[in-house]
Amino acid sequence: MFNSKNKPAILLKDAAIYQQKHLILNRVNMKVDQGEFVYLVGKTGSGKSSLIKTLYAQLPLLSGKATIAGMDLHKLPWRKVPNLRRKLGVIFQDFNLLTDRTVRDNLFFVMEATGWRNKQKMQMRCDDMLDRVGLKNKNLSMPHELSGGEKQRVAIARALLNSPEVILADEPTGNLDPETSDEVIKVLRELVRSAGTTVLMATHDYHILETFPERIIRCQDGKVTEESVIEIQ
């Protein structure tokens, strides 16, 4: 499973993934290299979200070894969690936008929370990220004025603000139609090509897997295994 030629962005060895005291995934061994796009697949309740939550330290890693973006997750002290999250971009299915703030202020909220202070630099960064996802004219729009695809593009722009080493995307196309889903995946894949960003994306959308083939990691029956796209067609 492991390729020693490339430096891993995500590496788990004999990791146990828990949701509270319930063991969800046992003896997880997986590696995602820097600049790689990987799908995490499995049925609802198979452990995809729990694995992603462990990787951004919403759930603690109690057993085994895991590193992401160069940080050791095993019993990571809470005071170091902000340091970890500054290296990560997280994208959710339901967008998680602040509904009472403009697109610009949604992005500013994240920058202020992660230490940005210079308003001019913040505006430049906001403009750059929105331009990158094709929304440069939407900075003063409210979330309710956006389509589902535009909301997810804002969420991607927000995730990119701090130039993350790794993007964790948890069912980012789950609420989108197929055409809009394709547009979102194209944006994420372009990040891999242009910036060398690592993307681990949880999905159960087989249309995406077939249209945009990449390496697949599957959660099933409490285990994590690898397979190729061909095997699921």
Under 8 Å between Cβ of 33 and 40: no
Write the CATH number of the domain with boundaries 1-87+164-233.
Answer: 3.40.50.300
- All residue ranges of the chain with pLDDT < 50 are 1-4, 230-233
Between CA 53 and CA 38 the distance in angstroms is: 16
Q: Across the beta sheet with 198-202, what order do the strands follow?
A: 88-92, 166-170, 198-202, 37-41, 215-220, 223-227
**What sign does the dihedral 102-108-113-114 (CA atoms) show?**
positive
Q: What is the pLDDT of residues 106-151, one digit of tens each?
A: 999 999 988 899 999 999 999 999 998 889 899 999 999 999 989 9
pTM higher than 0.75, yes or no? yes
Between CA 36 and CA 179 the distance in angstroms is: 24
Residue type, 12: L
Picking from 69, 75, 48, 230, the residue whose alpha carbon sits closest to that of residue 162 is: 69
Domain ranges of the chain: 1-87+164-233, 98-163
pLDDT reported for residue 25: 96
